[in-house]
Amino acid sequence: MKSTDTSAGKDDRSLLADRTYAALLSLYGEAACTLDGKEDPWRLMVGAILAAQCTDARVNQITPLLFEAYPDIGSFASAETADIEPLIRSCGLFRMKARSIRDSARMLADRFGGEVPSRMDALLSLPGIGRKIANLVLGDGFGIPGVVVDTHCGRVARRIGLTDAQDPAGVERDLMAAFPRDRWIALGHLFVAHGRHLCDARNPLCEQCPLSAFCRHAAAGEA
C-alpha cells in the first residue's frame, strides 16, 4: 500500500536547511545588508530602488550627494524628477528610478504621514516597491522577519535543493517553510554573499564550496 506520509520530505528539507544555514554562517558570519543608511527605512528603500540592475557599491557612491540634496521624504516629494535624475544617472534606469522615488515620497507624504510604513501591504502599494524591497525594508529597517529573494537567493536555493520554484514568491514561500522565523532576515543576506563569492551564475566554484557535500547541483556535476 502506498504511504501517504509526507513528513519525511519535510524533515529532509528542514535538515537540509539546517546544514545550509550552518555552512553559510561558517563562511560569512552574520551577513548584513551592504547598502549604506540601512538604519533609516526611507534611505534603505531609496537605496534598494537604486540597486535594481546596479551594484550596492555603486549605489553607496551615489546616495551621499543624493541625500545631501534631498535629506528627507518631504524634500523628495516636492522635487521634480528631472532634478533627481542627474544625481542617480550612473546607476542605470535613472529615469524610472527617479520617478519611483519621487512618487513613493509623495504617496508617503499624502497617505502615511510622511513615514515609511511597517506593513507589507502598505509597502507594496508604493510605486516601484515589490516583495523583495518590502522584505528588505521590513527586515533591516524595522526588524520584522522576512526573506529577501533576489536572483542570487533564488539561484542558490534552487541549486542546493531547498526549492524548485522559479518565481521569487514561490522561493520565498519555500524558504519561509524550511527555515525558522528568526533566521529569515539573515538568510537572504547569506544567500546573496554566497551567490556573489562562490555560487556564481555561470561559473560556480563547487570545488571550493563546503555546501557541495549536500548540494544537488554539485552532486549532479552541473558546475
d(CA 53, CA 99): 16
Alpha helices in the chain (DSSP H): 7-28, 41-50, 56-69, 73-77, 81-88, 94-111, 120-124, 131-136, 142, 151-160, 168-178, 184-197, 216-219
Comparison of pLDDT for 220 and 146, the residue scoring more: 146
Question: What is the pLDDT at residue 196?
Answer: 92
Residues 150-183 pLDDT 10s: 999 999 999 999 999 999 999 999 999 999 999 9
Architecture of the domain delimited by 41-142: Orthogonal Bundle (1.10)
* Nearest of 46, 39, 110, 111 to residue 72 by alpha carbon: 46
- Confidence class for position 91, pLDDT limits 50, 70, 90: very high
Residue 137 has pLDDT above 90, yes or no: yes
- The answer to whether the CB of 178 falls within 8 A of the CB of 16 is yes
CB 171 within 8 A of CB 150: no
Asked if residue 144 has pLDDT above 90, the reply is yes
Q: Where are the domains of the chain?
A: 11-32+146-219, 41-142
Indicate the pTM of the whole model.
0.89
Q: What is the pLDDT of residues 13-26, one digit of tens each?
A: 889 999 999 999 99
What pLDDT shows up at residue 31? 84
Q: Are 55 and 212 in contact (CB under 8 A)?
A: no
What class, spelled out in words, does domain 11-32+146-219 have in CATH?
mainly alpha
pLDDT(6) > 50: no
- Is the separation of the CB atoms in 200 and 42 below 8 Å? no
Residues composing the chain: 223
Q: What is the pLDDT of residue 126?
A: 97
Helix, strand, or coil (residue 109):
helix
Give pLDDT, residue 1: 38
Written as nine digits, the cell of 25 is: 554562517
What was the pLDDT predicted at 222? Answer: 57
Residue 33 sits at the vertex; the CA angle it makes with 96 and 175, to the nearest 5 degrees, is 95
Q: Above pLDDT 90, what percent of the chain?
A: 87
Report in angstroms the alpha-carbon separations of 178 from 112, 129, 162, 163. Answer: 34, 25, 8, 9
Cα–Cα distance, 55 to 62 (Å, whole number): 11
In contact, 55 and 72? CB cutoff 8 Å? no
pLDDT band at 221 (very low <50, low <70, confident <90, very high): confident
- Band of residue 30 on the pLDDT scale cut at 50, 70, 90: confident
Whole-number average pLDDT of the chain? 92
Q: Single out the residue of 154, 108, 105 nearest to residue 131, CA to CA.
A: 154
